[in-house]
Amino acid sequence: MRGCDTLVVDMGVLGPPAIEPDLSRQTVVGTVGERIEALAAGGDRGRAVAAMTRGVERILPELHAQGRFDGVIGIGGSAGTTMATAGMRALPIGVPKLMVSTIAGGDVAPFVGSKDITMVPSIVDISGLNRISRHIFVQAAAAVVAMARAEIPLPTGDDRPLIAASMFGNTTQCVDAARKRLESSGYEVLVFHSTGTGGRTMEDLVAADYFTGVLDVTTTELADELAGGVMSAGPTRLEGAARAGIPSVVVPGCLDMVNFWAPETIPQRYRSRRLYRHNPNVTLMRTTPEENRELGRRLAERVNKSKGPAAVYLPLKGISVISVAEQPFCWPEADQALFGAIRKTLRPGIPLFELDLDINDPAFAEAVADGLLRLLGHETSSGQHPSGQLPS
């Protein structure tokens, strides 16, 4: 393929393979204790696909660790996409991964997960070659070859420890200012957009030991998890740093909002709620006092699992751009419900700083950055915070 060696893995179950593979289907399912003859004879497609998925998930990382391939390309319909992308998600970030799929034009989040998988719509079904599929397949092959051959420039002398930070459009000013302060102290800051995928990716990389510290300013994905928004990062959001014992600063940033797509996609039960058109494709719903009490409890309970140093910071004058005074999501009762639940639930020993600032005030950004630096063992210019308030 374009001057590259290939390693063909057969993921079929029924019928003979179209070409002679380098790794047979029996080899793949054998890694998880299954026999291809039994799967074929059983006639249960769902069971066969599940077994093959587990096999691909196991064998691809093993083959990559052995240096057997530099990039991976898959072609298939819904079942083929399920199997191939499961193996791709098991590979490290940076390994080229490309999937030509009949379902690539729809919601591919379950297939991509938190990994760097390129999805290419097949346009036509995967059924032989024709004037359209030839173009798609040739270009897909060229793309994965180019990815594998790309020379990634390595930074010279940049071995700075990494810090993860979470951000949204509504917290950009805070995170940008905090990032500059952390980088001036010798760290490199990787910023993740809190869109569900961003939060999951950050959590996965924290668990994989990429980071020295976490500045979790934008925990809005908890609100989507609670209310059924479109940007939930799942029930383990906020637990990565806690379980890994990595120093972390947590802020209830943007917990005033739940994310939906265009207004017509909002569930009927929410259409009388306080809504804000963020852009033509995204509509925000204001969280209620009742929801905020639950969100505060959940945030604190997850921080309570921290095995390492952690601190929580509350911006008392607004947790997003649109929740400050005279903005559409300003709702003091909802904010107080959130803050009260955090105060009540956070376990002793985890510092809670309450600052009479809004989240995007430069002084708040300075406070959270300095707070993380202190947790990382740095001396900062002042042990006091801008409000003069000590941990509660």
- Check which CATH number belongs to the domain holding 246 and give it: 3.40.50.12030
pLDDT band at 159; cut points 50, 70, 90 = confident
- Domain range spanning residue 228? 162-375
The mean pLDDT value of the chain amounts to 94
215: nearest Cα among 99, 345, 355, 367: 367
Is residue 244 helix, strand or coil?
A: helix
pLDDT of residue 157 exceeding 80: no
pLDDT tens string 320-364: 999 999 999 999 999 999 999 999 999 999 999 999 999 999 999
Q: What is the pLDDT of residue 128?
A: 84
Mean of pLDDT values over 66-77: 96
Q: For residue 12, tell me if it sits in a domain.
A: no
| The total number of structural domains that make up the chain | 2
Q: What is the pLDDT of residue 43?
A: 87
* Pairing assessment for the beta strands 162-167 and 118-121 based on DSSP bridges: unpaired
pLDDT of residue 288 exceeding 90: yes
Q: What is the pLDDT of residue 338?
A: 98
Q: What is the pLDDT of residue 13?
A: 85
Q: What is the pLDDT of residue 322?
A: 98
Q: What is the pLDDT of residue 153?
A: 84
pTM of the model: 0.87
Residues 205, 299 within the same domain: yes
Q: For residue 128, tell me if it sits in a domain.
A: yes
Q: What is the pLDDT of residue 15?
A: 82
Q: What is the pLDDT of residue 386?
A: 46
Residues 144, 29 within the same domain: yes
The first and second tokens of residue 368, run together, are: 């959270």
The first and second tokens of residue 380, run together, are: 């900062």
Residue that is last in its domain, among 128, 149, 170: 149
pLDDT of residue 384 exceeding 70: no
Mean of pLDDT values over 277-306: 97
Residues 145, 170 within the same domain: no
Residues 171, 312 within the same domain: yes
Question: Cα–Cα distance between 90 and 56 in angstroms, integer?
Answer: 9
User: The sheet that has 162-167: what strands, in order across it?
Assistant: 188-193, 162-167, 213-216, 248-250, 310-315, 352-355
